[in-house]
A and B are shown apart, each in its own frame.
Chain A
């Protein structure tokens, strides 16, 4: 019995490690299937979500549809369809490595640790960690959270920084936004930390947005990139060309305005500094 179990285990692990489909380049895969498959979110407004008309939309989705997809079509010289799949922070890297999706387009921060497993496009959005608190809260930023109960998104870089810089803060980590917001609304915690843009999105969707404020200086740097399988520079080049062309032609800022402009889903003006940074990522033709 025990021996069988041993064999079973080894078999299971071998299955996980084995290499059925030897590396095929992503562009060749898209050329063959005629489809670009992206991993994105159903509930992460305004980057990727299902809107009231039941359409899967968002800033990240728009960037793929209007800038990256045309670049890939031009490169392959054929029509390519777009397919969207749900991906979560826990599943996005496995989805990529298992060839289930070709590109992760949601709210993924580009980090050195992640670059060990996947490759990233250039940075297409910049934000940083802040706090969401009830209006009138004494919390003003990371300097005033000692001994307070703080909610964070599970395993986020923000949680890591708080643990290191303010060890006396009582950190509670929730797997998703709704649970963390519920905890804040009920007083289980006194503040909720996440990327500023996500907090702004959460506030905009709250029943009474005026009861909540996003406060504090950025205490982390969160550059969002789209992730793809490692060591596939032709695909990476095609995707980056799409993004660079959009930034230099102004299409990127048009899309930005649609989602984050004064009339957008979540008003979040781009600072001159960040605009300059985005433009400087564009290398000459």
Chain B
């Protein structure tokens, strides 16, 4: 490969500022979408195990509809399909104030919300049924039992798969570049087109994603340890043979 690497393009001129901008936008869109996804996930995940058939159906419909349509389609839907349904003045205002960013948040949020929902449902199913019966027999109502007993335990159980989902969400945020959100992947492409330094830009993007993901994984792993209920959930030690 006769290619002379010039890593200085990554910090000379404007490119450093672009990369930083890209990281910030990626973090912003990912964290907002994560909050939405977790909220939707907890709600629909809990409803999928609820003792009321209609609610279970509604939650199942949400999950199947949103997780089985590609994320790219959701991006286009929220950006191109939604605004025409709004009143004209609101539409113009939104378009002047970063509609693409909020469309990206909605798309990532509902798509990953459906996936989080399955993770949380699995967590709830992992709790013995007697736990729920015991909660209700102490006089708690069903919503109280969920809010105070079932969901808090389930959330502790699902940290490893939730970490997985969080990392997927972060990486999937790059799909938002298709609707013009200037996130990290967008900026690495931008650097490539301005400097013609494809390998350097791509390597920088790769390392930043890797670093962000490792940081999230490390944080979640600490969270799992500190939140564990002693005696109830043993953090999986490797099995000694």
Query: B-contacting residues of A (Cβ < 8 Å)?
Result: 9, 13, 16-21, 23, 89-91, 93-94, 97-99, 111, 113-114, 116-118, 149, 151, 154-156, 160, 170, 172-175, 179, 182-183, 186-188, 229-231
Contact = CB atoms under 8 A, between A and B. Distances in A.
A21 to B, nearest CB: 7
B182 A173 contact: yes
A116 B2 contact: no
Contacts of B99: 188
B189 A13 contact: no
A130 to B, nearest CB: 19
Interface stretch (B23-31, B78-86, B154-162): B78-86
A186 B189 contact: no
A145 to B, nearest CB: 14
Nearest to B94: A188
26 contacts: A13-B203, A18-B1, A19-B1, A89-B192, A90-B192, A90-B198, A91-B198, A97-B1, A99-B1, A116-B6, A116-B195, A117-B3, A117-B196, A117-B197, A149-B96, A154-B186, A154-B189, A155-B189, A155-B192, A156-B193, A172-B100, A173-B190, A175-B189, A179-B178, A186-B80, A187-B91
Given A16-B203, A154-B186, A188-B80, A174 B1 contact: no
Nearest to A173: B180
Interface of B: 1-3, 5-6, 76, 79-80, 83-84, 91, 95-96, 99-100, 177-180, 182, 186, 189-190, 192-199, 202-203, 207
B95 A188 contact: yes
Point out which of B2, B178, B186, B203 has the most chain A C-beta atoms below 10 A from its C-beta: B2
A19 B2 CA distance: 7
A18 B2 CA distance: 10
A259 B79 CA distance: 35
A182 B77 CA distance: 12
Interface of B is mostly: helix
Contacts of B84: 186
B192 A175 contact: no
Contacts of B195: 113, 116
Contacts of A187: 91, 95
Given A89-B193, A94-B198, A188-B99, 18 more contacts: A21-B1, A90-B189, A90-B193, A97-B3, A97-B199, A117-B3, A117-B197, A149-B95, A149-B96, A154-B186, A154-B190, A172-B180, A173-B180, A173-B186, A175-B177, A179-B76, A179-B180, A230-B2
Contacts of B194: 113, 155, 160
Contact of A98 (B1, B76, B91, B203): B1
A228 to B, nearest CB: 12
A17 B7 CA distance: 12
A253 to B, nearest CB: 31
A173 B3 CA distance: 29
A170 B93 CA distance: 13
Nearest to A156: B193
